């Protein structure tokens, strides 16, 4: 897990550096694209921090000198700042065009998750901030708990942007080869694992 999350951080740092320097400033999609990349990095940092606590904060591409671990509270503050700075440039559209991309609501959902556990991470409770982030998602009216009749469809291989319960989804394609450093099982995990279990 450590290698996986640090790999995501390194890859997004590379993409942010290349696109930030080479995309024309008048490109209308540049701010949103860079904000989405920062959100991918923030999500990786959150999971990395949640699992390991004190971790290194690395934001510069091409600097391969070992970095010391930062205290968990400092990492929390870094992630929170990243999300808040990305938020204004993230899309508020929720449809097929933003499926699989971090939207403003994915950012609010991540903030809610962080604030819910802020007392554990930092020693300071942030329950009111958690409520405000949840209200931003719920108040948008763009999401809903799937009804019982269609709940299991969220786990079907043909699920997608039609599912109203997904705030942020990572699309998987079972036809694709596995990524370097993986065994490919994650491409089938959301559907095949349950289907392959036998009753005893």
Q: What are phi and psi of 108, to 5 degrees?
A: -65, -40
Q: How far is CA 77 from the centre of its chain?
A: 17
For the segment 146-185, what is each residue's pLDDT rounded down to a tens digit? 999 989 988 887 888 889 999 999 887 666 655 555 555 5
160: which 2 tokens? 């997608």
Cβ proximity of 133 and 109 under 8 Å:
yes
- Three-state DSSP state, 10: helix
CB count in 10 Å sphere of residue 103? 25
152: which 2 tokens? 């299991």
Residue entry with tokens 């209308």: 28
For the segment 50-59, what is each residue's pLDDT rounded down to a tens digit? 999 999 999 9
In order along its 200 residues, the chain shows pLDDT tens digits of: 899 899 999 999 999 999 999 999 899 999 999 999 999 999 999 999 999 999 999 999 988 888 999 999 999 999 999 999 999 999 999 999 999 999 999 999 999 999 999 999 999 999 999 999 999 999 999 999 999 998 998 888 788 888 999 999 988 766 665 555 555 555 444 444 444 444 44
pTM: 0.85
């Amino acid at each position: 897990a450590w290698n996986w999350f640090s790999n995501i951080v390194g890859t997004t740092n590379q993409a942010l550096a290349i696109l930030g320097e080479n995309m024309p400033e008048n490109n209308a999609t540049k701010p949103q694209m860079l904000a989405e990349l920062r959100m991918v990095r923030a999500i990786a940092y959150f999971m990395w921090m949640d699992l390991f606590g004190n971790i290194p904060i690395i934001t510069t591409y091409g600097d391969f000198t070992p970095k010391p671990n930062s205290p968990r509270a400092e990492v929390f503050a870094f992630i929170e700042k990243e999300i808040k700075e990305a938020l204004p440039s993230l899309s508020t559209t929720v449809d097929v065009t933003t499926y699989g991309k971090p939207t403003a609501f994915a950012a609010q959902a991540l903030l809610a998750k962080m604030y819910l556990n802020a007392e554990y991470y930092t020693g300071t409770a942030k329950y009111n901030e958690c409520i405000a982030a949840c209200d931003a998602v719920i108040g948008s009216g763009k999401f809903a708990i799937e009804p019982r009749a269609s709940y299991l469809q969220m786990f079907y291989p043909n699920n997608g942007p039609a599912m109203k319960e997904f705030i942020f989804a990572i699309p998987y394609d079972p036809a694709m080869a596995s990524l370097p450093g993986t065994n490919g099982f994650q491409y089938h995990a959301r559907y095949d694992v349950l289907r392959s279990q036998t009753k005893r």
